[in-house]
Chains A and B, each alone.
Chain A
Amino acid sequence: MRTGYKAALAAIGLAVTFSFGAMAGETVRIAQVIPLTGPWADLGQMAREGAKIAAEEINAAGGIKSLGGKKIEVVVADAGGSPESAKNATQRLISDYPDLSAGMGAILSSMTLAATTATEQAGLPWVTQSYATSITERGLKHVFQIVPDSKTIAGETFPILTKIAKAATGKTPSKLAIIRDNTAASQDFFKPMLDGGFEKLGITVSVDAAYTPPLSDATPIALKVRSSDADLVFLFITALPDVKRVLEALNQYDIKLPITAQAATLGMPGVAGAIKTDALEGLISTAGIWPGAKQKAVVEKFKQATGENWMPEPALAGYSGTWILKEAIEAAGSADRSVITKALHEMDLKDGPAAAALPTGAVHFDETGKIASPTITAFEWLNGKPYTIYPPQAAEADPKWPTR
């Protein structure tokens, strides 16, 4: 609802980019490529708010000390609604701002895969919160993934869910009904699981309802689940209207199975208004980077700045990405791209705002650019709000196995 004036200008094409942080004088410029128009604009808007809070904190604390207190300036470009538009926006940003030192983005994995082909060519160090495993498995030297990749999230999600189920009910679910869209992130997530991952965990797939979004009606999905012997429903749905239709259909067809998910969409503030809270109650979702007890201070700042009731995943990604880039520039003592890339490869932070912003509590990348020792997070909808339930040290509430 709170679309900024500048974002609106970007939306109508009068300005492709805008910036915040320090606006003039001696600054170090970093890029943020995010969707501000198109179907995923609300995710981009949240990421922008997170980066804005981080830039304000950095500049208020004296900027980048190793560069004589230079302020940080975040130049934002609209990635639009497709990989092509994300790549074009990134290329244009790189040519319009030759003094860019580093960058982050672009929310959706498919967009990040496209944008990073341009950043790699320009030697621009780039941090991303996108999940796709392939982002850091293409031999790129300048791309750093600050969240667990899809393979890791998929591998950890189901053991976590079965553990919660076992603790609550004494039984582990073993027959899964998967409801998913066929976006790149979803395919990346399920591929290793369907290629033997579920088998290793003793889980059989009773229903695999993959659809091409947007979903016209969820009746066929609900009927498939109702006719199956599944004892757990698992959602991987990117778009909010689809989530609403699926959850409502499962309710309408009286499907009493516990519902779990892996979806940033399910943690977005808009969900609470769109879906009746009793349909959401008890729904557990894993996430790559969900704020927990350690991020309480930034969550409060975010709530004050935006008026939202909680800080969703993209906002924390924008926040932590900005801080990680600041620390890299600080360690490099230079605004030069190659020196910053080297600093990111050598980064080993265990304290400070950048480390505290991540669930891992540390920032260190392996040789491919993946975050070392990745920790996945999970939240559960309880009384109309998502609460962190995993990892235990970050939990705000005890997990309850969803009963319907």
Chain B
Amino acid sequence: MLNFVQTLVAGLLIGGVYALVSIGLSLILGVMRIINFAQGEFMMLAMYFTYFVTAALGVSVFADFVGPLVAAMLAGPVMYIVGILVYRVLLRHVSGTSSGGQDAQLLITLGISLILQNAALMAFGPTAFTLHTSLSADIWKIGPIIVNRALAIAFGVSIVLTAGFYVFMSRFRAGKILRACADNPQAAVYMGLDPHKAHARAFGIGVGLTAIAGGLVATYYPFTPYIGLNFIVIMFVAVVLGGLGSTTGAFFGGLIVGVVQQLWTLVMPMELQDAGVFLLFLLILFFRPQGLFGKKYV
């Protein structure tokens, strides 16, 4: 029983990070109708950003988790600007349903992904970078349950940010504009909204959220220019599981992926850990093709 609870906790903590990573991708998909294959690489850039900012801040000045946490949070706005620039230069002409440019979208985002991977390889080399903090090695004990500090902090930040994002999308005008442009871009234009501006903002926020998640992951996971490949499949599974374009769905999709991935190991060989996730994925697609929180279109 203790092993079950411990594994469940580990799954929830990992799932919280997956959730934040996936919300960014889901927002981009929902508002812009762009399948962003470069999302993992934006996450990777944020990890390097977190590394260098943490080094610049000096972890010894603060409590050892403050430096990495501040750096990870800073990665959000910085990558928001990067996202907007990438949108304006490369994606502007292929976003939205009316562009009919899905082939172009795939090629451009895949191209961005390859360029970012190799640019990072040129700049940082193939050796894994590790944040110099004891966060990942330290634990908190809650009764008999052991909680990894890095994962617990990442989980906490993910929950707060997700809640903040939910409030932004439902209560603030800027969030409502994004939803309007996602739901009916043509009607949004009639109402005097600028879908391109909304798309740029959505891409920036989507990249920024994933970037913060990347910064948090960097506190416990060594990374190389290819780290994005480890997460992109998980992101897509979480997004489709939750319902294409539904950010709430992506959140729960991420949590479910984390929990299933870990609990599966209690009953099946660890080698089949991801098989459990994909089995659930197929079952949900079979019984509920629109995903858990997706809308059913007739």
Partner of B118, one of A11, A182, A276: A11
Determine whether the beta carbon of A41 is less than 8 Å from that of B10. no
Q: When the two chains form their complex, are residues A253 and B122 in contact, meaning their CB atoms are under 8 A apart?
A: no
Q: B-facing mask of A246-288, CB < 8 A → 1, else 0?
A: 0010011100000000000000011001111001000000000
Question: From A274, which residue of chain B is reached at the shortest CB distance?
Answer: B130
* Inter-subunit contact A219/B10 (CB<8 Å): yes
A274-328 residues at the B interface, CB under 8 angstroms = 274-276, 279
Judge whether A136 is part of the interface by a CB distance below 8 angstroms: no
Please encode chain A, from 3 to 23, with 1 for each CB lying within 8 Å of some chain B CB and 0 for all others. 100001001110000000000
| Cβ-defined contact, A42 with B226, below 8 A | no
Give 13 A-B contacts (CB < 8 Å), ordered by A residue. A3-B126, A12-B119, A42-B126, A44-B126, A45-B127, A210-B270, A217-B151, A220-B266, A221-B270, A248-B148, A252-B148, A273-B130, A276-B137
B134 interfacial contact with A, CB 8 Å: yes
Question: Lowest 5 CB-CB distances: which A-B pairs, in order?
Answer: A41-B126, A219-B10, A220-B265, A274-B130, A8-B122
Q: Identify which of residues 73-132 in chain A touch chain B, using a CB-to-CB cut-off of 8 Å.
A: 81
**Contacting residue for A240 out of B128, B146, B271, CB 8 A:** B128
List A contacts of B148 (CB < 8 A). 248, 252
Q: Do the beta carbons of A274 and B222 come within 8 Å of each other?
A: yes
Shortest beta-carbon distance from A327 to chain B in Å: 31
Given the complex, which residues of B lie within 8 Å of A212, measured CB to CB? 270-274
Q: Contacts of A12 on B, CB cut-off 8 Å?
A: 115, 118-119, 122
Contact with A along B112-141 (1 / 0, CB 8 A): 000100110110111110101010110100
Residues of B within 8 A of A274 (CB): 128, 130, 222
A252 to B261, CA, bound (A): 20
Closest to B119 in A: A12
Report whether B128 and A227 are in contact in the complex, using a CB–CB cutoff of 8 Å: no
Taking CB atoms, residues of chain B closer than 8 Å to A182 are 271
Residue A70, interface by CB 8 Å? no
A8 close to B121 (CB less than 8 A):
yes
Q: By the criterion CB–CB under 8 Å, are A270 and B6 in contact? A: no
Q: Determine how close the nearest CB of chain A comes to the CB of B151; give it in whole angstroms.
A: 8
A209 at the binding interface (Cβ < 8 Å): yes
User: What distance in Å separates the Cβ of B297 from its nearest Cβ neighbour in chain A?
Assistant: 33
Q: How long is the Cα–Cα vector from A209 to B136 in the complex, in angstroms? A: 22
A1 to B223, CA, bound (A): 13
Q: A252 near B139 (CB under 8 angstroms)?
A: yes
**Docked-complex contact A220 and B122, CB < 8 angstroms:** no
Q: Which residues of A contact B100 (CB under 8 A)?
A: none
In the complex, what residues of A have CB within 8 A of residue B151's CB? Answer: 217
CB pair B262–A244 under 8 Å, yes or no, is no
Within 8 A of B (CB), among A31-45: 36-39, 41-42, 44-45
A2 at the interface (CB under 8 A from B): yes
Bound-state Cα–Cα, A219 to B261, Å: 11
Q: Which residues of chain A have C-beta atoms less than 8 A from B273's C-beta?
A: 211-212, 216
Task: Give the residue name and chain of the B residue nearest to A244 (CB).
Answer: B222
Find out whether the CB atom of A248 lies under 8 angstroms from the CB atom of B121: no
Q: A215-246 toward B: CB 8 Å interface, digit per residue (1/0)? A: 01101110100010000000000001100110
Q: Could you tell me if A1 and B270 are in contact, using CB atoms closer than 8 angstroms? A: no
Query: Taking CB as reference atom, which chain A residue is nearest B115?
Result: A12
Knowing that A42-B126, A210-B270, A245-B220 are A-B contacts, what are 20 other residue pairs whose CB atoms are under 8 Å apart, sorted by A's residue number?
A1-B124, A2-B125, A3-B122, A12-B115, A12-B122, A42-B125, A42-B127, A44-B126, A81-B226, A216-B14, A216-B261, A217-B10, A219-B6, A219-B10, A220-B270, A244-B130, A252-B148, A269-B127, A276-B134, A276-B137
A62 is an interface residue with CB less than 8 A from chain B: no
CA distance A2 to B266 in the complex (A): 43
Q: Is A392 an interface residue (CB 8 A)?
A: no
B14 engages A37 (CB within 8 Å): no
CA gap between A223 and B265 in the complex, in Å? 11
Interface residues of A, CB < 8 Å — how many?
44
Complex Cα gap A12–B122 (Å)? 9
A214 near B: Cβ within 8 Å?
Answer: yes
Secondary structure at the B interface, as helix, strand, loop or mixed, is: helix
- B230 at interface (Cβ–Cβ under 8 A)? yes
Beta-carbon contact of A211 and B124 below 8 Å:
no
Set B118, B136, B220: member contacting A37, Cβ < 8 A: B118
Residues in A whose Cβ lies below 8 Å from that of B266: 220
Contact with A223, one of B6, B119, B122 (Cβ below 8 angstroms): B6
Provide the bound-state CA to CA distance between A47 and B146, in Å.
41
Q: How far is the CB of B152 from chain A (nearest CB, A)?
A: 12
List A contacts of B258 (CB < 8 A): 216
Residues of B within 8 A of A41 (CB): 121, 126, 224
A251 to B137, CA, bound (A): 8
- The reply on B95 being an interface residue by CB < 8 A is no
Q: Which of A36, A252, A273, A279 has the most CB of B within 10 A?
A: A252
Assembled-state Cα–Cα distance A42/B146 (Å): 34
- What B residues does A211 contact at CB under 8 A? 270-271, 273
Known: A1-B125, A12-B118, A220-B266. A252 touches B146 (CB 8 A): yes
Q: Are B226 and A220 in contact (CB under 8 A)?
A: no
B230: which A residues are within 8 A, CB to CB?
214
Of residues 81 to 137 in B, which have CB atoms within 8 Å of A's CB atoms? Answer: 115, 118-119, 121-122, 124-128, 130, 132, 134, 136-137
In the bound assembly, the distance between CA atoms of A216 and B277 in angstroms comes to 12
- A1–B127 CB distance below 8 A: yes
Given A81-B226, A212-B274, A220-B7, check contact A45 B126 (CB 8 Å): yes
User: CB within 8 Å of A: which of B197-242?
Assistant: 220-224, 226, 230
* A220–B224 CA distance with the chains assembled, in angstroms: 25
Contact string, B256-272, partner A, CB cutoff 8 A, digits 1/0?
00100110011001111
How far, in Å, is B121 (CB) from chain A's closest CB?
A: 5
A227 to chain B, nearest CB (A): 7
CA distance A241 to B262 in the complex (A): 18
| Min distance, Cβ A92 to any Cβ of chain B, angstroms | 18
Q: How far is the CB of B268 from chain A (nearest CB, A)?
A: 11
Q: Which of A195-219 contact B (CB under 8 A)?
A: 209-212, 214, 216-217, 219
Which chain B residue has the least Cβ–Cβ distance from A1? Answer: B125
Distance, CA A36 to CA B118, complexed state (A): 11
The complex places the Cα of A253 from the Cα of B121 at a distance, in Å, of: 35
Nearest residue, chain A, Cβ from B261: A216
